[in-house]
Structure 1
Amino acid sequence: MENLIHIVRQLDAKFKIKSFGKDPAFSRFIPQVYEGEVHWREKFEPEFNKLFNGLMIKGNPEVKNIFLAVFPTKEVLEGFIENGESGDLLFMHHPLLMECGDPNGKWGRGFVPIEEKLLDEIRSKGLSVYTCHAPMDYHETLGTSQAMAEALNVDITERFIHDDRHGCIGIIGNVEKTNTEDLIENLKRIFDIPYVDFEGRKKEIKKVAIVAGCGDKTQWMQQAEDKGADAYISGEIHCHIDNDYGRKRFDEVIDYARQTNMSLIGVSHSASEYLVKKTLMAPWFEEKFDFEAIHLIPQEDWWL
């Protein structure tokens, strides 16, 4: 059993939460999806309402078990509420569900709020929630892209998509020689997905670029190609959000794919970011703390 505040301080320090200031994405999207619907500032911790990372919901002080997930889907939160004991902690990457859409199915709605009923059930049961978005994407040892690179045995040669304050979110490196078809089969196995999203060329692959999460920016793809990558692997190579923004981004990648020499491969936003929970964060929590159990909560549908 561990003290909640001790865990929070360790996480805040490891991911340098305060140095990031306001999370650039969720400082915009949380107010947008909740305003006029839910008094969200009353549900979340005051510090979270400033930074949009860190301890989001504060439950009882003694933590027996920790739960790890990516998005707060209804199924993930219901599983946490049902199986968590008073004081238990849910550590997620995102404080909002993002319906990213399915390349072989229905397009998504984008950011979706957590149902108020679920927030109230978490609070009434004395459970806690901690989320870490941008600080985890930039982290070089416990990062989302880092976990993907390690799973693919990438010999990292450089990092890209640079921020002057925080470093890089993308990774480039060499892999054992393979081809597009075999790489796709390996990715399906690693991320436990039925299919990938694919554009571009099928070819021999010796160098890859990795961007976890939402990598559907053609300027990032071009950076990777300029640095000699044969394949660009991301959570998303296409935006499948059903609005004008999503369709514009989708068309941009289609245009880029016609002229690129790379293989562009998407493994789903959520699956790409779940890997770090499974392979890096779970062992880190096991080493640092004395929990009764560490529970991974995968999504029922990675292509949500």
Structure 2
Amino acid sequence: MKNRKLANKLDQLLEIHQFKDYSPNGLQIEGNESITKIITGVTASQALIDIAIAKKADAILVHHGFFWNGEAQQIVGMKYKRIKALIENGINLYAYHLPLDAHPQLGNNAQLAQRLDIIDRRPLEPWDKRSLGRVGKFEQAISVDDLSKRIALQLGRTPLHIAGGHKEIKTIAWCTGGGQDYINIAAEQGIDAFISGEISERTVHVAKEMGIEYYAAGHHATERYGIKALGEWIAEECDINVEFVDVDNPV
């Protein structure tokens, strides 16, 4: 498939025009025109780029790409080495940030919910069509400790649990990655627990004072599965060789 044709297909699938994001979505670095092999991963790190080069990939598809708002604009140091490696090896770089978080089937939030058996899923902010926060419930109430065990089993990482005073959890809200501040909206709605990737100092106080269980399950760990699902969709729809590579990250 041609590189720009693939970009257009993904842009439409993920409806990137609907989002005001912190970095450009879509084709960020142009490489070979023809794509036959894609490496997918969470972040366009040097480690992932090196693996793509070794595997002779034509493209890398990630959730966290380049050119973030507020970062230095100069292409020097680490940024230079990464971009130089991509260009010299003709590797296209595609990145989808908020649009991949939000997609109702392939997105990070949707994929996390599937793994944790969360049902009756809906937006945490029903007044905002682009709300990244989600809310749902478990078919049967689950103890706070059993939810920690379920997260650890599904994500391969034991979450940090901040107790909010519940013994059991029926309703659950979540937002993968750095979405911990949605905890305030969840607590105001009387939801039992909230899951995100990261935790800030303030989040501990919110959980304790507003009476909501909080689980920090890892930014990387909660955002593996959207990009993996998107890659599997490409392999099936476009008949392209796609391989997911999980570069370890403890955060």
TM norm structure 1: 0.73
| Contact 2:28–2:66 (8 Å) recurs in 1 | no
| Contact 1:203–1:263 (8 Å) recurs in 2 | no
| Contact 1:208–1:232 (8 Å) recurs in 2 | yes
SS of the residue corresponding to residue 158 of structure 1 reads: strand
Q: 1:157 to 1:133 in 2, by over 3 A?
A: closer
What is the Cα deviation at residue 114 of structure 1?
Answer: 4.5
What is the Cα deviation at residue 299 of structure 1?
Answer: 2.2
Correspondences of 1:34-183 after superposition (within 5 Å): 52-85=24-57, 88-96=58-66, 114-161=78-125, 164=128, 166-175=129-138, 176-183=140-147
CA distance in 2, matches of 1:124, 1:69: 20
**Alignment-derived partner of residue 300 in structure 1:** 248
**Alignment-derived partner of residue 232 in structure 2:** 283
- Which stretch of structure 1 is more off in the superposition, 175-184 or 110-119? 110-119
SS of the residue corresponding to residue 8 of structure 1 reads: helix
Q: 1:227 to 1:19 in 2, by over 3 A?
A: closer
CA distance in 1, matches of 2:46, 2:160: 25
Tell me the number of residue pairs that the alignment of Structure 1 and Structure 2 aligns: 244
Q: 1:147 to 1:253 in 2, by over 3 A?
A: same
CA distance in 1, matches of 2:151, 2:210: 21
CA distance in 2, matches of 1:97, 1:151: 31
**Alignment-derived partner of residue 180 in structure 2:** 216
**Alignment-derived partner of residue 153 in structure 2:** 189
CA distance in 2, matches of 1:208, 1:93: 24
| Contact 1:191–1:275 (8 Å) recurs in 2 | no
Aligned residue among 155, 167, 174 for 1:203:
167
What is the Cα deviation at residue 94 of structure 1?
Answer: 1.1
Query: Match of 1:93, as an amino acid?
Result: H
Gaps of 5+ in 1: 27-51, 99-109, 240-249
| Contact 1:96–1:114 (8 Å) recurs in 2 | no
Q: Is the counterpart of residue 230 in structure 1 residue 230 in structure 2?
A: no
**Alignment-derived partner of residue 11 in structure 1:** 10
| Contact 1:162–1:169 (8 Å) recurs in 2 | no
Aligned residue among 268, 282, 285 for 2:218:
268
CA offset digits 1:61-91 (Å, max 9, x no partner): 1111111111222322221222233xx1111
TM norm structure 2: 0.88
> How well do the aligned residues superpose, as a CA RMSD in angstroms?
2.4
| Contact 1:73–1:97 (8 Å) recurs in 2 | no
What is the Cα deviation at residue 301 of structure 1?
Answer: 2.2
| Contact 2:108–2:225 (8 Å) recurs in 1 | yes
Q: 1:111 to 1:271 in 2, by over 3 A?
A: farther
What is the Cα deviation at residue 10 of structure 1?
Answer: 0.4
| Contact 1:147–1:276 (8 Å) recurs in 2 | yes
Q: 1:163 to 1:53 in 2, by over 3 A?
A: farther
Query: Match of 2:226, as an amino acid?
Result: V
SS of the residue corresponding to residue 169 of structure 1 reads: coil
SS of the residue corresponding to residue 168 of structure 1 reads: coil
Q: 1:66 to 1:83 in 2, by over 3 A?
A: same
Q: Is the counterpart of residue 259 in structure 1 residue 209 in structure 2?
A: yes
Gaps of 5+ in 2: none
What is the Cα deviation at residue 163 of structure 1?
Answer: 7.1
| Contact 1:72–1:114 (8 Å) recurs in 2 | no
Query: Match of 1:271, as an amino acid?
Result: A
